[in-house]
Amino acid sequence: MAFIELKGATLDLPIYDVRGRSLKKKVMRIGRRNTIAEDNDGVIVVRALDNVDLRFDRGDRVGLIGHNGAGKSTLLRTMAGIYAPTSGTISSNGKIVPLLDISLGMDENSTGMQNIRLRGLLLGMSDSEIREKQQAIAEFCELGDYLDLPLRTYSSGMRVRLAFAVSTAVDAEILLLDEVMGVGDASFMHKAEERLADLHSRAEIVVLAMHSNPEIRRVCNKVLWMERGRVRAFGPMEEVLSQYEATS
Amino acid sequence: MLRQSTEDLVKSLGSWRLWTLLGWLEVRQRYARSRVGPFWLTISMGVMIGSLGLVYGTLFGQSMEDYLPFLAVSLVMWGMFATTVTEGGLAYISSGQFIRQASTPKLIYVLQVVWRNLVILAHNFVIVVILLAAFGVKNWQTLPLFLPALVLYILNAMWIAMVVGLLSARFRDLPQIINALIQIAFYVTPIIFRPKSLSRFTFLVEWNPLAYLIDMVRAPLIGQFPSAETWGICLGMAAAGWLLALSLTGRYLKRIPYWV
């Protein structure tokens, strides 16, 4: 049974400027008595998640809403296991597939086919799984003979098609999506939507961050409203979404 | 701490398909669209060995028959060590886009660097084989010792790459410092000169761990048995180094995505 649970998860993101990155500065600071002159060590800490308690269970289709910088992407990355929380815990069960950046792991000088393999491996597919799905991926992205050409010859639309086709071929129990809409031309857009809908129906839990309220109404049954790294509201879709719409 | 990093190491080794592929891509990318491909490395290394060999062999008054194989083995092996360490410093930094987007095990990025340099070593090793064939193998009995020596050598290069990679992700001026240190190490370590030819400053050889490392992989190929002292020091370094690297990695594993 798939689930994700966060208990008191807090995430402090350190932001380093040039000084904070320097070993020399750090060594020079050792043994210096007056720290007043250069007290700032060049590290600013941003609290991206603040004491978040959540539990998503099987069947949840969660829409993640909130203003820019509210912590939506950070939350997704934490759930994906990329960022470990500074304090608090996160536990989960089920294969998590994050689709956060459409352009992850593409190699310019490799052919389309080789890129299918590279990206598949990065997303945690096994070798046999990739071989099995390669044909389906190739058909879905409709790139035909271009798949045997290196990626640097592709247009940006073609890249997105390929990346989308590979990413969405992964079997996910928990699917994390970060606004991956807007792919390619109109006909592919339609296909992509179908594919996403199919992906949603196969996954046990879907969490998607997006700014389009009609889309959330269509897909989700729950909504999580983030504000400044905290949970502002979490509950049934219509309830939270209307609250959100009332304030903005 | 150690448990986390060994877990990561086991998982990383398990996804060998990924790091071998990433390593290969990198090698291929550098020499893409050139006819001889990665063998450019072999050619440039060959030219370097040839010219250095002529100049220094004459300067040191050595016979070419002895000196060229010595120099070839030294340079080829040192090249592998030096680039593993310097590129190890960039292991996490240059893979930042992967680390921030997918939760793969982290040590695959170090393994990728090691693998890449092994591939390059295999290309360069052609020169050693050619020279051994041309000048004859000194002693067949010492040759098999090259294998355990190579394994120990790689293990030592890898723990250094792990430590350097981790620290460089946090302190971005470290790769430059490492580059400078490696450069100095090249001159003070018996690579182009023979360990015994230093008449003064012998501490440069006796107290230089790199001198033992290079001696261990070089001796079997030029017909000598590495001394027990050499084996001991290299083994000790590998054990202590891996302990250090694994505990450091375990301690900071979770911080890597924040740093890159």
Length of chain A as a residue count: 248
Residue A37 scores a pLDDT above 60? no
For the stretch A87-140, pLDDT in tens is 999 998 888 888 787 666 677 778 888 888 888 888 888 888 888 888 888 888
Q: Which of A84, A114, A123 sits opposite B102 (nearest CB)?
A: A123
Look at residue A129 in the predicted model and tell me its pLDDT: 87
Q: Would you say A208 and A239 are in contact if contact means Cβ atoms under 8 Å apart?
A: no
B174/chain A closest Cα distance in angstroms: 7
Is pTM beyond 0.95 here?
A: no
Q: Which of A129, A218, A161 is nearest to B17 (CA)?
A: A129
Pairing of strands A230-236, A222-227: antiparallel
For the stretch B138-168, pLDDT in tens is 888 999 999 999 999 999 999 999 999 999 9
For the stretch B178-226, pLDDT in tens is 999 999 999 999 999 988 888 888 888 889 999 999 999 999 999 999 9
Q: How far apart are the first and last CA of chain B?
A: 21
Say yes or no for a CB contact (<8 Å) between B103 and A122.
no
Residue numbers in B near A13 (CB within 8 A): 258
Residue numbers in B near A82 (CB within 8 A): 99-103, 257
Query: Residue B81 carries which side chain, given as an amino acid letter?
Result: F
Q: Would you say B215 and B70 are in contact if contact means Cβ atoms under 8 Å apart?
A: no
Residue A181 scores a pLDDT above 60? no
Query: Which chain B residue has its CA at the smallest distance from A178's CA?
Result: B101
Q: Return the higher-pLDDT residue of A150 and B213.
A: B213
Interaxial angle between packed helices B108-135 and B146-170, expressed in degrees from 0 to 180 and rounded to the nearest 10: 140
Query: Which chain A residue has its CA at the smallest distance from B254's CA?
Result: A84
